[in-house]
């Protein structure tokens, strides 16, 4: 093989190796950035009131992080992506609470009150503030061309929230179940108001 051909072949090989190493590096950096903004939770598979309360506490923390990202949003794509990553963490936590609650045995009166107290971390007053913050960003979201996406996100969060409270209602005593059901109806109204702002 002529020397020139050898050099060209070597150059192509080195370029391919460099490309192969940079692609996963960029992927790793992107994943690291999102993880830093919204930490990914490692869930266990325990059941019972303690596990449900722990999962709701994690959910409340994820909601707080999500709300912080909403408050900081001033219309950039990067901020929207960060908020979306935090919202995805909330969805994952909601699904985990539903899973743990559904797999648990029925709770007695004391355990039911313990669970009701935990539910008051993300519901209902905090949810009112969160949805109000989301509604206040409607014009910025519209300018970014993400209105339809946010409507879908709100509908998804409403559905998961309903599924969570319905799962709780099946496990707690009747008096607590009635209180949780009333809270669910009220929060559904809040979701409806927020979705309405984006559908005008």
Asked if 147 and 138 touch (Cβ cutoff 8 Å), the reply is yes
Is residue 165 within a helix (H) or strand (E), and if so which, with residue range? helix 147-169
Give the separation between CA 199 and CA 138, rounded to whole angstroms: 10
Residue pointed to by tokens 């303690």: 50
List the chain domain ranges: 1-37, 44-198
Asked if 101 and 164 touch (Cβ cutoff 8 Å), the reply is yes
- For residues 66, 67, 68, 70, the Cα torsion angle rounded to the nearest 10 degrees is 90
Q: How many CB atoms lie within 10 A of CB 12?
A: 10
Overall fold of domain 44-198: 1.20.120
Global pTM?
Answer: 0.79
Ordered per-residue pLDDT tens for the chain, 200 residues: 554 444 434 333 434 433 433 333 333 334 444 444 575 666 667 789 999 999 999 999 999 999 999 999 999 999 999 999 999 999 999 999 999 999 999 999 999 999 999 999 888 789 999 999 999 999 999 999 999 999 999 999 999 999 999 999 999 999 999 999 999 999 999 999 999 999 97
Asked if 167 and 102 touch (Cβ cutoff 8 Å), the reply is yes
* Integer-rounded Cα radius of gyration of the chain: 23
């Amino acid at each position: 093989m002529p020397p020139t051909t050898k050099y060209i072949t070597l150059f192509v090989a080195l370029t391919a190796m460099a490309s192969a190493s940079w692609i996963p590096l960029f992927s790793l950096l992107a994943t690291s950035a999102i993880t830093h903004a919204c930490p990914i939770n490692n869930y266990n598979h325990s059941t019972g009131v303690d596990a449900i309360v722990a999962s709701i506490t994690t959910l409340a923390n994820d909601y707080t992080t999500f709300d912080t990202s909403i408050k900081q949003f001033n219309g950039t794509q990067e901020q929207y992506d960060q908020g979306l990553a935090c919202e995805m963490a909330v969805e994952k936590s909601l699904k985990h609470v539903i899973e743990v609650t559904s797999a648990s045995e029925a709770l007695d009166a004391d355990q039911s009150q313990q669970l009701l107290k935990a539910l008051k971390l993300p519901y209902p007053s905090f949810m009112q503030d969160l949805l109000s913050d989301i509604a206040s960003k409607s014009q910025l979201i519209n300018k970014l061309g993400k209105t339809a996406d946010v409507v879908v996100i709100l509908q998804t969060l409403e559905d998961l929230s309903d599924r969570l409270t319905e799962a709780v209602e099946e496990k707690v005593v009747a008096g607590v179940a009635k209180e949780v059901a009333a809270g669910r109806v009220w929060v559904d109204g809040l979701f409806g108001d927020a979705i309405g702002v984006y559908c005008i």
